Structure 1
Amino acid sequence: MATIKDVAKLAEVSVGTVSKYLNGFKVKEKTRIAVEQAIQALSYEPNIYAKGLKTNRTNSVVLLIPSVWHPFFSELTYYIEQALRKKGIKLILCNTRDNLDAEIEYVTMARQNKVDGIIAITYSNIDEYITSDMAVVSIDRFFSANTDFISSDNYHGGYQGAEILAQSGSTNLAYVGHGSSYANDTTARLDGFKDYCEVHGIPYHLCYGEGTLDDYQEQLMTFVDQIASGKLSIDGILTASDTHALRVYELLKQRGIQIPEDIQLIGFDGSQQSQSVPIFLSSIRQNVPVIAQEAVSCLLKRINDGNDNHPVVHKKVPISFLKGQTTR
């Protein structure tokens, strides 16, 4: 197996020069080309563990997500892993199942194993476990500690969702979803929806819960039954996520309600399972590749600068509308 000395000898440079190149320091263009050619010729693989000991880095990052089954979280994981891989950093995926105890265990593990940083998507109360000396970037949730915060423009997404339904002919709107009792930016979707309706004098109904999922499911069934029986006059629905939208679609179809003829339906996320499958669900699309890139960029800057030298960053990523078959 080739060593760094072998690379230096073939490239006709010093071991120190090869080390500088491998650690990301700038070298002369002629030197860079010679070192890269030598690495390729010898099939040299740097010892990332030895490198980590010298730099006090593990070249690993933990990603906390509530569920691998959720399309948005799955897509986001893919793009975060790609962005980290380009920087030579390994991803440790922690599927928390939206469970507080699991989240605490994973955060503790990350701290004890001295990973370089954490990207967290959590809707639980784990603030006290996020210490100020940890490099942490949060998506959709602001922590009280020294963490960066990346989110979609959720307020504008909710506002635009209501606007599109109204402009497409819906006159009685509803917002459907289940949220966390802890403050997070996704609740801004509901705020944007309500503000549009109130500014434009559009009647609206809320089927929204922050309690248990069982309570929400019961609330949703009652809501759909009221629509089917005519007790509620709803002809346009915006949901908190695509998953909620697909469940609403299923329940309405079971009761003989046609979409979009009787009721228009818009989800939120716009995650694509396959680029070859036509878009079915109309949705407010989160720009997942940009969210992932922003999260990785902020985390690496925080790791490199150190928490004490890094001001808190809050970035909002613009949303867009994907028109599918559930709106007119």
Structure 2
Amino acid sequence: MKKKNAPTMKDVAREAGVALGTVSKVINGLPVSDIYREKVEEAIKLLHYEVNTYARGLKTQKSNLIALIIPNTTNPFFAAFTDHIEGALYKRGLKLLLCCADGIPEKEIACLSMATQNKVDGVIALTYSDIGKYIAEDIPIVVFDRFFENHNIPRVGSDNFAGACLAIEKLLEFGCKHPVYLRFHSIFPGESDKRKDGYLFACKKYGIEPDFLDMLECSNELEQMKMFLDRHKKPDNTLTFDGVFAHTDYHGYMFTRLLRQEGYRIPEDVQLIAFDGIRKFGNEDGELFVSSICQPIQQLAEKCVEIVLMQDHSTIPSLTLLPVKYEYGGTTLRPENPPSCAGH
């Protein structure tokens, strides 16, 4: 049986009894009379005509595609961020082109090349390498958290400095005397580096001797945490610290498990606050894995989409920071409970 050819715009015009130009106007959202619009829309439904979005993009110079470059979708934070980006685009009639680059510079550059070839209307990037010089000048781009040498690229992030200060203040409020800081970080600079700055600032403000594990991301992070823990054990097996500020929820959760395996009670012996606000099962109302300084993931995604779609790029700020908040997640004392971790 001979396969029937897909209907064309000419077929739609013939069925609707209108000029080809009228069909083009309806498809591209240009004004026509209600009578003609209804005729064209009925013909489209009758013939099951599908708009060739690629060809339409060549004419309008808009593809209605936004590319998102992220490391992966296995990390719950990245997955939630992606979901909110897609939702924000959908509300605006746009589609998402997703690129998972695994933090590999060559793969990120390839993603940028693919985005350019697909004539995307903009790029939102959450990367772990400096790809600023590979970004085409005619494609709007906004980056989340990361810092590029190209200072003209607008950035969106959380207020990491204030969040770190808040974490230390909360630990002190809950009775801790000596909070330490755990960080495994990328070699590439980003807004999250300000979490360490916030920790050091808070230590100076409250007269605390800084004490931290600060290393590049590595394959033996748990081993490094164990070594750090062992160095802080007293002869009676109590610890020299009673509070922990972890750079991410992931590392906070790892360290919490290690503490429990070593026989320490959470939060009675050690209280811990991390940073991100990752929730179980990816549910907005779900429980946190640890007490955390929570980033407003949905608002961050909305802001990235809003900025990348802005027409007047001269009005875009170089850096937009959104506020964070503390939420209880089981690894700190509840405010109504009396402090019990002081004095270790």
Shorter-chain TM-score bucket reads 0.7 to 0.9
Alignment-mate amino acid for residue 87 of structure 1: R
Q: Which is further off, 107-116 or 200-209? A: 107-116
Matches of residues 81-160 of structure 1 in structure 2 within 5 Å?
A: 81-145=86-150, 146-160=152-166
Gap change, CA 1:35 and 1:218, over 3 Å in 2: farther
Which of the numbers 204, 208, 230 marks the counterpart of 1:202? 208
Matches of residues 1-328 of structure 1 in structure 2 within 5 Å?
A: 19-20=24-25, 22-23=27-28, 38=42, 45-145=50-150, 146-210=152-216, 212-214=217-219, 216-229=221-234, 230=237, 233-274=240-281, 275=283, 277-301=286-310, 304-305=311-312, 311-328=316-333
Residue number in structure 1 paired with 2:339: none
Displacement after TM superposition at 1:59 (Å): 2.4
1:145-204 CA-to-partner distances (Å, cap 9, x unmatched) read 332211011111111111111101111001112112222100111111221121011233
> 8 Å contact 1:228–1:255 — kept in the other structure?
no
User: Which one has the bigger helix percentage?
Assistant: 1
Tell me the matched-pair count: 322
Q: Secondary structure at the match of 2:90?
A: helix
CA distance in 1, matches of 2:145, 2:260: 32
Q: Which is further off, 18-27 or 274-283? A: 18-27
Gap change, CA 1:18 and 1:298, over 3 Å in 2: farther
> 8 Å contact 1:226–1:232 — kept in the other structure?
no
CA distance in 1, matches of 2:170, 2:263: 24
What is the aligned-residue RMSD (CA, Å)? 3.1
Alignment-mate amino acid for residue 81 of structure 2: L
Q: If the length of structure 2 is used for normalisation, what is the TM-score? A: 0.81
Q: If the length of structure 1 is used for normalisation, what is the TM-score? A: 0.85
Which has the greater radius of gyration? 2
Unmatched tracts of structure 1, length 5 or more: none
Displacement after TM superposition at 1:139 (Å): 0.2
> 8 Å contact 2:142–2:304 — kept in the other structure?
yes
Query: Percent of pairs identical after alignment?
Result: 37
Gap change, CA 1:164 and 1:51, over 3 Å in 2: same
CA distance in 1, matches of 2:240, 2:32: 69
Q: Secondary structure at the match of 2:320?
A: strand
* Consecutive aligned runs of 4 or more in structure 1 exceeding 6 Å deviation: 1-15, 30-33
